[in-house]
Amino acid sequence: MSPTFAQLGVTLDQFLAFVVVLTRMSGLMLAAPVFGSREVPAQIRALLAFTLSLVILPTQWTALVTAPSSLIDLSLLIGGELLIGYTLGLGVMTMFAGVQIGGQIVSQTGGISAADIFNPGFDMSVPIISQFYYMFAMAVFLLIGGHQQVVAALLDTFQSIPPGAATVTDSVVDSVVRLIMQSFSLGVRTAAPATTALLLATLVLGLVGRTLPQLNLMALGFGINAVVMFILLALGMSALAWLVENELPEVMEVVYDALRGMGDG
């Protein structure tokens, strides 16, 4: 015979509060950087979500959660809470998508876009330079405490979005558009130094080819482009770290606006 809530010393309100916390945390674990990575086994993510929910739960004992009167109401409650955590994680993940775009631009310009590697984080094959940028940005994210900021942001959502009050409004759509624009802008800024240098190297090779047509520029040009690209990669790591460190607060602010919009609706 299964024990009841009363026998376990837990009220229905407390159980619903735990469901809300666990569902929001699960949404974050599905999409957030590091936590939602495909490299992390699903069992580890589930255990992490459950453990963090137990840590957060005492702060939400007094949360007023309206008990769902039907299965449809329960589905709407769980779906809304899952959407909050997923929106937070996915919003921050757009920053890494921008870094990956920058790596793809550099790979295309440098002529090594055929050297692909599988990226489990995005479930697709990407150029090796793009994967290198992605992993470096992820390391910077961890070093500056980005994973802690994401969890702290989820805690803040309990103040701005009461349980069961998540809605999608125009402000949420505007925030999504801003995130996409910032992601593309980050990609362009990430690729700008290397792309500019590679284009200048190509221009110089073109001038040399006009002056000395007997040279085999097909073989020479590929080698020079590769050397220039790797030198710039070595010199540009600090710039990429600076970009990620400065972009994260802006991305978090846009995500905050989106989440506040979900609560205001």
Report pLDDT for 215: 62
116-119 vs 124-127, strand pairing mode? antiparallel
pLDDT tens readout for residues 56-71: 888 777 666 777 777 8
Range 165-170 average pLDDT: 72
**Percentage of residues of the chain with pLDDT beyond 90:** 0
Find where tokens 């310009």 sit: 109
Using DSSP, state whether 9 is helix, strand or coil. Answer: coil
Q: Work out the burial of residue 32: count CB atoms within 10 Å of its CB; fewer than 13 is exposed, 13-18 middle, 19 or more buried.
A: buried
pLDDT tens readout for residues 187-237: 888 888 777 777 777 777 777 767 766 666 665 656 676 777 777 777 778
pLDDT band for 7, please (50, 70, 90 cuts): very low
pTM: 0.78
Report pLDDT for 157: 83
Report pLDDT for 1: 47
pLDDT band for 8, please (50, 70, 90 cuts): very low
pLDDT at 2 over 70: no
pLDDT band for 16, please (50, 70, 90 cuts): confident
- Spell out the SS3 assignment of 41-102: CHHHHHHHHHHHHHHHHHHHCCCCCCCCCCHHHHHHHHHHHHHHHHHHHHHHHHHHHHHHHH
pLDDT tens readout for residues 97-135: 888 888 888 877 766 665 566 555 556 677 778 888 888
Euclidean distance between CA atoms 131 and 119, whole angstroms: 7
pLDDT tens readout for residues 22-41: 888 898 888 888 887 777 78
